[in-house]
Amino acid sequence: MGCDQMNRGLLHEALESFLGSEQKNRADYLMQLELGRLYLYGKNADDNVVDLEKARSHLLLAARYGKAEIAFLPDAAATPAKRSCTRLSLATC
């Protein structure tokens, strides 16, 4: 739901959805990634949710949790999610 809201330009609503999801499952690396992206780029004519410190924090969490997922993703080299996790992990080195 947060991704749909973000794509429609409803940035505050997307932020609320992602923060609600975070309360239920903090270790979801894709949700942390989207939160980081929203805090990093979240500005349009109606909303401005940019917060660089929060962006950094959530992107680092995405890398941490993504790194933990790598071993559990099937067919390591072939899946886009696995490649994303690997990139996130390498970006924090």
Helix (H, G, I), strand (E, B) or coil at 18: helix
Burial level of 73, CB count in 10 A (0-12/13-18/19+)?
middle
Crossing angle of helices 29-41 and 52-69, in 10° steps, is 160
The DSSP call for residue 92 is: T
What pTM did the predictor assign? 0.76
Higher per-residue pLDDT: 1 or 51: 51
Give the Cα separation of 16 and 79 in Å (integer): 29
Average pLDDT score over residue span 40-64: 96
Distance CA 39, CA 66 (A): 19
Alpha carbon distance 25, 92 (integer Å): 22
pLDDT of residue 30 exceeding 60, the answer is: yes
First to last CA, the chain: 32
